[in-house]
Structure 1
Amino acid sequence: MGRSRAGRVADVHALAQAMPHVAEVSGGRGNAVYQVGGKSFVFFRTARPDAYDPVTGERYDDVIVIWVPDEQDKQALVEDPANPFFTTPHFDGHPSVLVRGSRVGELTLAQLREVVEDAWCSRASKRRVETWLAAQGRVSA
């Protein structure tokens, strides 16, 4: 298999939309929120005071929140310096990671696909996850 191209923000949308039983809803400011069974698994966040440039103090307006299966997965992603993922104190104890849209290109499309699929699996019902995994030729853990 060849090297996967760099991920794009448009890929986050496309990958989330491609998962089964997904509803795209608009957040309070028109930001995209992807849900399965009424539970968000990826959402595009509006500028908030907890995510900002440490030099200029400017709030990031391109933060994407992506759910993860558990705290261990979260820590693995945010502690790996090769990953653009981060978190803020606002998300302490929340099973999600943050990534700036401007840094999505630091991930390959394959890495981005894995993170979005894991996010969906962490929020979808057990039956939906098992059905989807079986259709992919994979088994649930």
Structure 2
Amino acid sequence: MTRPATPDDIGQICLSLPEVELGVSWGDRPTYKVPRGDKGRGFVLQRAPHKTAVDPTTGELYDDLLVIRTPTEADKLALVADDSLPFFTIDHFNHYNAVLVQESRLGEIAVEELREVIEDAWRAVAPKKLVKELDG
């Protein structure tokens, strides 16, 4: 494995993609959006602690969750089913194409893997024109 991912990699990866800005959604949650401006759609956001996401071992609310969009339900299920990855889902996200990951567990994957998941999230919401530009 190359370098393990860290929470700092989230912003670096997101902001390296075309037309991304850090804004807010869900009221006040830091959210990476594409494109910049009023039409921006979130693809990675920090989730507030909530009773729908509880650590099964401690019973404590997760306080470091990221929500990362997935292109399809199949992509979501593949990430969640892979025991080597720290991604998971909760009932609250049934029928919503996104996975959850604790920032404290990002080191369990390589930065390249994280980049691939985030780039797929970006592609899921970015305007087709931007996706074509990225693909050259």
TM-score (normalised: structure 2): 0.92
| Unmatched segments (≥5 aa) in structure 1 | 135-141
Structure 1 residue 26: deviation in Å? 3.2
Which ranges of 4 or more aligned residues in structure 1 deviate by more than 3 Å?
26-29
Match of 1:138 in 2: none
The DSSP-based 3-state class of the residue aligned with 1:5 is coil
Match of 2:111 in 1: 109
TM-score (normalised: structure 1): 0.88
Structure 1 residue 56: deviation in Å? 2.1
Equivalent residues in 2 for 1:41-80, closer than 5 Å:
41-80=43-82
The DSSP-based 3-state class of the residue aligned with 1:43 is strand
| Unmatched segments (≥5 aa) in structure 2 | none
Structure 1 residue 46: deviation in Å? 1.0
Across the aligned residues of Structure 1 and Structure 2, the Cα RMSD in angstroms comes to 1.1
Structure 1 residue 55: deviation in Å? 2.5
Q: What percentage of residue pairs aligned between the two structures are identical?
A: 41
The DSSP-based 3-state class of the residue aligned with 1:66 is strand
Match of 1:83 in 2: 85
Aligned partner (choices 9, 13, 34) of residue 11 of structure 1: 9
The DSSP-based 3-state class of the residue aligned with 1:34 is strand
